């Protein structure tokens, strides 16, 4: 049951907002997450938010990551138009690109009644159920968090927590090209492969189906209600519109 809004316009911890974005540059999404976290830490907003989107092609390095797991040259990267971004999430190196569904929950773990282990396990469960909705069976693997088909990884998890507020999140390989994963040691591992829902099924998968499935299973697994917020139109000011909606003037510390 959805909670009533307070006069301030905030909602209780059992309601999250889902913001489904078009293809969004990694740095833009990262700055949006950090701004939302800043507002939450400063107690200027208390809204739990799920960002769902795809990224243009990019490699990211987590806290445990090093460029030694990048197995192509800088010249090759430049020619391919790929950059490498160092970020504060857990994990090692990974790849994001079109056809991979990325979810960034920005939530307060304490008010959500979650510890870190349960939170990560829930994210895995949501990806497993979404893959199954699309017709592919995946499970867990003791080698690494995420979801797997045998020795091939289908979905990854890398999170960061600041003052109890989570950001970064999960990446589910729906129908993306897997070739760039061959240019790295994914997650810092040399003995694994990567797969996608499309590869396992041998046929194309609609991204919209995966998006709606993720949203549905988020509600079920986290026992929440989700409300949608759709920015009026895509564009460079999408971050400003989101922050204006969820963070009052002056919410973001200088």
Catalytic residue ranges: 187
C-beta separation of 146 from 155 below 8 A: yes
Helix axes 207-222, 116-133, angle to 10 degrees: 140
Task: Quote the crossing angle between the two packed helices 238-246 and 26-41, to the nearest 10°.
Answer: 20
Spell out the long-range contacts of 174-178 with Cβ–Cβ below 8 A and sequence spacing 24 or more.
174/99, 174/100, 174/101, 174/134, 174/198, 174/205, 174/207, 174/210, 175/99, 175/204, 175/205, 175/207, 176/97, 176/98, 176/99, 176/100, 177/97, 177/99
Partner residues linked to 245 by β-bridges: none
> Residue 159 in 3-state DSSP?
strand
The rounded distance, in Å, linking the Cα atoms of 229 and 232 is 9
What is the Cα–Cα distance from 173 to 154, expressed in whole angstroms? 6
Residue 155 in contact with residue 170, Cβ under 8 Å?
yes
Residue (of 153, 129, 148) closest to 138 by Cα position: 148
Task: Show Cβ contacts of residue 118 under 8 Å, excluding neighbours closer than 6 positions.
Answer: none
């Amino acid at each position: 049951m959805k909670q009533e809004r307070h006069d301030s316009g905030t909602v209780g911890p059992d309601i999250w907002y889902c913001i489904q974005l078009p293809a969004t540059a990694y740095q833009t999404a990262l700055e949006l997450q950090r701004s939302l976290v800043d507002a939450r830490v400063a107690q200027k907003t208390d809204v739990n938010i799920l960002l769902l989107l795809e990224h243009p092609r990019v490699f990211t390095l987590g806290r445990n990551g090093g460029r030694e797991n990048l197995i192509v040259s800088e010249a090759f990267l430049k020619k391919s138009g790929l950059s490498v971004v160092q970020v504060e999430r857990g994990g090692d190196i990974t790849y994001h690109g079109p056809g991979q569904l990325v979810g960034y929950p920005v939530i307060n773990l304490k008010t959500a009644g979650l510890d870190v282990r349960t939170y990560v396990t829930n994210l895995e469960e949501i990806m497993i159920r979404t893959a199954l909705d699309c017709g592919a069976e995946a499970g867990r693997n003791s080698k690494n968090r995420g979801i797997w088909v045998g020795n091939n990884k289908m979905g990854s998890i890398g999170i960061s927590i600041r003052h109890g507020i989570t950001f970064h999140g999960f990446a589910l390989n729906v129908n993306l090209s897997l070739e760039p994963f061959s240019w790295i040691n994914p997650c810092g591992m040399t003995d694994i492969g990567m797969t996608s829902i499309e590869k396992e099924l041998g046929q194309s998968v609609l991204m919209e189906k995966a998006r709606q499935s993720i949203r549905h299973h988020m509600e079920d697994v986290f026992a929440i209600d989700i409300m949608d917020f759709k920015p009026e139109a895509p564009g460079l000011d999408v971050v400003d519109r989101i922050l204006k909606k969820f963070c009052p003037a002056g919410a973001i510390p200088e």
